[in-house]
Chains A and B, each alone.
Chain A
């Protein structure tokens, strides 16, 4: 390594650690607790390219124990593990118990026109009745969305960092629910997309583990003409790792991902694409797939159709959950809380919902057959009616003289 490269690397490392330090401040003040919980704090300005943390390890860095497994994924879910149930076949039917507008004003999951246009009208209520109260997020641990329990962390004063698409950010504290799980209630002030983040890091065996749990939240409506900027996903370029769900060209504030559609994600570090990141997706029904990001940090998955009930049991609002995990391992030297590391592992997660595709339960053929059939037979009936009532012309002459 050249001297100039070393200086650049050290500079980048310093900046990167400073940024991480900004997130870690409350925890780093308590050195006795390691591995540490890390509370999202107001982030510094986005880092330039030189601050990318993927710097090469220093020669005197400790030897990393790469045999140690990755930490269990942390992710944010709108559904508590207690509610979702532990059986895979018990996919989240709970939203079917609520009305359409309650269902739609939930976690953002889109990329395509909404699955059910009938729900358009229902969503009118979001605006008019002022519905869409605070959203509740549960912190869950584990890579299987069907079985992942609610996470229980010993750390106190943990908060989610909420970022709006216009860059405004604030905190939502995580509190324990009745069963000890961690949940946060998030108020979304205006229509649009929001991100919720929880960042944790720890050093063990010379390896830095950074976990970013992310949820995309949507306060949506179908029925108002809004600024297009509201349709953009929220991003935070100050994060060392982040996964972003790409929004479709037609995606508005009222969207659903449905089975059979493509879900596109980007993995970024400080706003820059991460190539070669290992990304996996797993659904609540147990389907999963692995892929790697391309040079643009892009990866896409097609959500399979995994809902095959009897017709009498079909629920068009059945909500499936998918969990996407992205992992990056890079040589990177540094120290946190007095513990050196030479390898950094970055792991980020995002969960979303998907619904049965409309093509599973809607038929154009039947509708058009009915419309055209009724119009045709109706027209025929009118014609026959008129034809039967028609009388041939018959001239009647009055003889006025005779009268």
Chain B
């Protein structure tokens, strides 16, 4: 949008060009001064309803969505989280996987990648139903007047690796199944422990996932582990903002693929005063957002691109969100003041 404003006026008509410029500036100021938290809340509500109940309206976005549109939400889902089919595809016998079925794997991954690069980790910050549920739990905590927890720097650095470990296991275990080394009862290992499997179908009235499966030792361990993680998710999300996003293998997967993404978070270090407002509103406690004044592409691996940092930044143009090189939302002093009056710190 800024580039649009900077573009030369249309030839042969300065008054209309001026009008367009004024309109564009008004639009830019309107966007940059938006009541961001309210906007994001309703956008999340929309996407939650779309992904959790859209299936009842016949909506089907396919099998390769880069967000937790849970496969176990059978009728309601309007698309499928890519991690489920990926794990099952990788669990095919090796001759098949590295043969004709490999084409299906590549096709599925390509579709996933195309979905992903459009919004980058904005899928996490705005669209993921499980992320939205965590934000709702956070909202409940705030209403109850309970303060939230934060990790120490040491804890942060240590726990930050868990999502990569989960991602590796999510790939290696299915491959082991396909190779005949691991029981089929371990299929879709991440889905077995994913809180989305337990919680999202409940929103569609399906409670069938709230079980421990005693049919085999592997099933028993995985479903019991899933229940344990489900309990941890509930209490963790209550005391820690975006508790699960910190451990989410989808988040790790996103980060590994994020280089060519169109939607980006950028920082102009020259304009940053290191006031720390961005860090204080960051649900994921990403310190670099405040400390790093050298890296323009500031999106870190834990980032969910919720853009709360942009909304909380008082410096003109220090933080900005862009799509395909075009700035669509940036920090402004006017926007900061406007939001502060409404209470941007949530």
Contact = CB atoms under 8 A, between A and B. Distances in A.
Interface string B170-191: 0000000000000010011001
Given A117-B209, A375-B231, A382-B239, A225 B63 contact: no
Contacts of B96: 129
A128 B108 contact: yes
Nearest to B73: A120
Contacts of B114: none
Nearest to B83: A121
B61 to A, nearest CB: 10
Interface in B241-299: none
Interface string A349-384: 000000010100111101110111111001100100
Given A121-B71, A121-B72, A125-B88, A361 B60 contact: no
B227 A371 contact: yes
A345 interface: no
A311 interface: yes
B139 to A, nearest CB: 17
Main secondary structure of the interface of A (DSSP, over half): helix
B210 A364 contact: yes
B91 A118 contact: no
A99 interface: yes
Given A225-B60, A361-B214, A370-B224, A117 B85 contact: no
A32 interface: no
Contact of A124 (B59, B80, B92, B227): B80
A222 interface: yes
Interface in B62-105: 63, 71-72, 74, 80, 84-85, 87-89, 91-92, 96, 100-101, 104
Nearest to A119: B187
B129 interface: no
Given A122-B188, A225-B55, A364-B211, A379 B227 contact: no
Contacts of B211: 358, 362-364, 366-367
Contacts of A315: 215
B184 A125 contact: no
B232 interface: yes
A121 B85 contact: yes
A225 B56 CA distance: 9
Interface string A315-356: 110000000000000000000000000000000000000001
B208 interface: yes
A387 to B, nearest CB: 13
B235 interface: yes
Given A99-B187, A128-B108, A366 B224 contact: yes
A370 B191 contact: no
Nearest to A356: B215
Nearest to A227: B58
Nearest to A124: B85
A318 B238 CA distance: 42
A100 interface: yes
Contacts of B153: none
B72 A362 contact: no
A363 B209 CA distance: 10
Given A124-B63, A128-B104, A366-B224, A118 B235 contact: no
Given A100-B187, A128-B104, 13 more contacts: A121-B85, A127-B63, A129-B104, A316-B215, A358-B211, A362-B212, A363-B211, A363-B212, A366-B227, A367-B211, A370-B212, A371-B231, A374-B228
11 contacts: A117-B72, A117-B208, A120-B74, A121-B72, A124-B63, A127-B63, A316-B216, A367-B227, A371-B234, A379-B238, A382-B235
- Closest 7 A/B residue pairs (Cβ): A374-B231, A316-B215, A378-B235, A370-B227, A361-B215, A362-B211, A366-B212
Interface of A: 99-101, 113, 117-118, 120-122, 124-125, 127-130, 222-225, 311, 314-316, 356, 358, 361-364, 366-368, 370-375, 378-379, 382
